């Protein structure tokens, strides 16, 4: 076993795309864990399919490297605030954080979110300024911004004396002096060993291990991941687990593993300070404590910030239900959602009066859309409502809503339209400044509901040149009504197959979402109307044959290209009276009531209720 004094437990935190997973790649390669002839993929820590596709980290992961007799346990954390639950629980496993900041972009909103959590836990920081080879790098200004950020977040004097390492993670180079070009990551390794403390705890005391993560292994069943705060744990050992209510339950440990590189290696015993993986605890949950049977000493459970966004998940009852997915029953959907809640600590699933409907709350649109995308890839069919923010009641009974800090980088000539868009969404500008030639950086305080659907509108307005990032700020008094969608929709008049003739006859009414040959059903949304009202259209009608020769001019008629939405865009687009049908192969927007008469009745009842 590695001595507690020769161990370092660190987390790498940074904003999205600042290079933390790439830096871990370099540390793994230079520590010698791979064979010389071994083929290693880029961003080796992003093992999830969605992570590879999107180029982001979604799940926190553990690895370790060895350097000159020291073992460095590394946790690669997500940068999106939507996955803040992942960040908050893994920070409990480490003694220090490696704060990675882009040499051009500087500290971003989500850097602020994770760093605040780390400073509150009194973790030791080390700053890595990455991508110093960028032609637009502004290293000195970025370091000043980092100091300002630490001051704003209330860092202690010790935390303000952080060392700075300059790096090019992609090339595997680092240096402590900008005048001395780096050749490898040796300066980074030495800074980690010299500045981060060894884990604290008594290796001879009674066992204490807080469970920070749970996984499922096909061979050994459910496994728990956590840091041993005191004592040691061994295979076959009798322990008790303290749950969130403080109740104790006896277990027998199966196998014990530790991380060596990217592998889990079985060991007879793991000691204080080590990040260990144990099996044999079938129904263990995140936040519970594995402790000594004779002298139980539970640790405080993990707490995370509350969810800010809620959606309704419904069993798929459309006319096409069961045609594309394998799992469609309410029993399977409920089991899958509750299973997700066990490992996704910032997710909330609430049963309703209907056995086919659940309220699912998360930290943001991305958090919930990743869950939906994962489920559809697993063969599930379901329907979801538009995202709604979760309100709170203030001490005086006033209505409070979640607020976000929004940061947008835009071309200077787009400042007027962007400010108007955010003004309509109750945004309040708090800062503005240049961000390179012809670029502006605007900072806004916006209600969370004002950001639903904003990304696609912003990208359309700026022709894809804008970059936006946001993080949760807190709750403030309700800011007033926000109108989300200004256009009505085109609704399929009947079930059938969309024809070229039918689509051509209605394409001047708006933008189409379907192409010829697409199967549609009555009540399905097939396009966006140019006006505010919803209208029904018949896109399945065929041209009647006659004895007259067709005009050759008809051959030149072309359909406008259909608008194809991603999952996030479809969720943003939804209105109050619509659902998104999600299957492994298709995304279909539909009205909650497919029948025209039922829709009219529901609309009338809603108008009467609002009048009362």
Could you list the residues known to form a binding site, using ranges.
17-22, 130-133
In whole angstroms, what separates CA 244 from the centre of its chain?
A: 25
For residue 471, the number of C-alpha atoms closer than 13 Å in the C-beta half-sphere is 21
Measured between alpha carbons, how far is 281 from 394 in angstroms, rounded to an integer? 41
Three-state DSSP state, 148 = helix
Q: Which residues are part of a known binding site for GTP?
A: 17-22, 130-133
Kindly give the pairing relationship between strand 489-492 and strand 535-537: parallel
Q: Strand ranges (DSSP E) for 455-583?
A: 467-477, 489-492, 496-497, 510-512, 519-520, 525-529, 535-537, 578-582
Spatial distance between the Cα atoms of 316 and 479, rounded to a whole number of angstroms = 35
- Region for residue 82 given its phi and psi (left: phi exceeds 0; alpha: psi -120 to 50; beta: otherwise): alpha
What six digits make up the tokens of 258? 């530790």
> How far apart, in whole angstroms, are the C-alpha atoms of residue 45 and residue 550?
61
Q: How far is CA 454 from CA 317, 381, 423, 459, 526, in A?
A: 30, 27, 12, 9, 22
Angle at which helix 20-30 crosses helix 186-195, to 10 degrees, equals: 100
Nearest CA-CA partner of 59 in 90, 28, 29: 90
**What are residue 180's phi and psi, to 5 degrees?**
-115, 100
Distance between CA atoms of residues 320 and 324, nearest Å? 8
H helix or E strand, kind and range, residue 336 = helix 330-343
- Under DSSP, the state recorded for 92 is G
- Give the count of beta carbons closer than 10 Å to the beta carbon of residue 608: 9
Residues 6+ apart with CB under 8 A from 36: none
SS3 annotation, 177-196 = CCCCCCCECHHHHHHHHHHC
């Amino acid at each position: 076993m590695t001595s507690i004094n020769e161990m370092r437990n660190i987390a790498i935190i940074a904003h999205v795309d600042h290079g933390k997973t790439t830096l871990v790649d370099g540390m793994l390669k230079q520590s010698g864990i791979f064979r010389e002839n071994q083929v290693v993929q880029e961003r080796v820590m992003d093992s999830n399919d969605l992570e590879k596709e999107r180029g982001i980290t979604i799940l926190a992961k553990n690895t370790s490297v060895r350097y000159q007799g020291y073992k460095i346990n590394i946790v690669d954390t997500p940068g999106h605030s939507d996955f803040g639950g992942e960040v908050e629980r893994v920070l409990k496993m480490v003694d220090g954080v490696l704060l990675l900041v882009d040499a051009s972009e500087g500290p971003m909103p989500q850097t602020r979110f994770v760093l605040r959590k780390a400073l509150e836990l009194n973790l030791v920081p080390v700053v890595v300024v990455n991508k110093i080879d960028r032609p637009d790098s502004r290293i000195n200004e970025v370091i000043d911004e980092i100091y300002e950020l630490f001051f704003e977040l209330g860092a202690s004097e010790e935390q303000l004396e952080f060392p700075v390492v300059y790096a090019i993670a992609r090339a595997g180079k680092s240096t402590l002096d900008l005048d001395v070009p780096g050749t490898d990551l040796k300066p980074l390794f030495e800074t980690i060993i010299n500045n981060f403390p060894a884990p604290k705890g008594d290796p001879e005391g009674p066992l204490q291990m807080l469970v920070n993560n749970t996984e499922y292994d096909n061979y050994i069943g459910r496994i728990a991941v956590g840091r041993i705060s005191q004592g040691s744990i061994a295979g076959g050992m009798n322990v008790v687990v303290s749950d969130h209510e403080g109740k104790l339950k006896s277990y027998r440990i199966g196998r014990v593993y530790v991380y060596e590189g990217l592998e889990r290696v079985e060991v007879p015993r793991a000691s204080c300070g080590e990040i260990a993986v144990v099996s044999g605890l079938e129904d263990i949950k995140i936040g519970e404590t594995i402790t000594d049977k004779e002298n139980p000493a539970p640790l405080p459970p993990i707490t995370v910030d509350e969810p800010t966004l809620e959606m309704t998940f419904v069993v798929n009852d459309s006319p096409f239900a069961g045609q594309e997915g394998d799992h469609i029953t309410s029993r399977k959907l409920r089991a899958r959602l509750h299973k997700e809640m066990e490992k996704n600590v910032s997710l909330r699933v609430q049963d309703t009066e209907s056995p086919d409907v659940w309220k699912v709350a998360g930290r943001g649109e991305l958090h919930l859309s990743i869950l939906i995308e994962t489920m559809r890839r697993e063969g599930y069919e379901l329907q979801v409502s538009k995202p709604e923010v979760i309100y709170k009641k203030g001490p005086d009974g006033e209505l409070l809503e979640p607020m976000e800090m929004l940061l947008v980088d835009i071309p200077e000539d787009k400042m007027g339209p962007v400010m108007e868009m955010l003004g309509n969404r109750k945004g309040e500008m708090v800062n503005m400044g240049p961000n390179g030639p012809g670029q502006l950086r605007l900072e806004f305080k916006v209600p969370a509901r004002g950001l639903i659907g904003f990304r696609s509108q912003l990208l359309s307005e700026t022709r894809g040149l804008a970059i936006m990032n946001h993080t949760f700020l807190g709750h403030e008094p309700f800011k007033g009504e926000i109108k989300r969608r200004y256009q009505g929709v085109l609704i399929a008049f009947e079930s059938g197959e969309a024809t070229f003739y039918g689509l051509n006859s209605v394409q001047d009414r708006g933008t189409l979402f379907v192409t010829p040959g697409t199967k549609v059903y009555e009540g399905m949304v097939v396009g966006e109307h140019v006006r505010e009202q919803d209208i029904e259209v018949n896109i399945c009608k065929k041209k009647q044959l006659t004895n007259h020769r067709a005009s050759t001019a008809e051959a030149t008629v072309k359909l406008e290209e259909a608008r194809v939405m991603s999952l996030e865009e479809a969720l943003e687009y939804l209105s109050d009276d619509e659902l998104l049908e999600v299957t492994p192969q298709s995304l279909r927007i539909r009205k909650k009531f497919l029948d025209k008469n039922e829709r009219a009745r529901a609309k009338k009842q809603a108008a009467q209720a609002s009048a009362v």
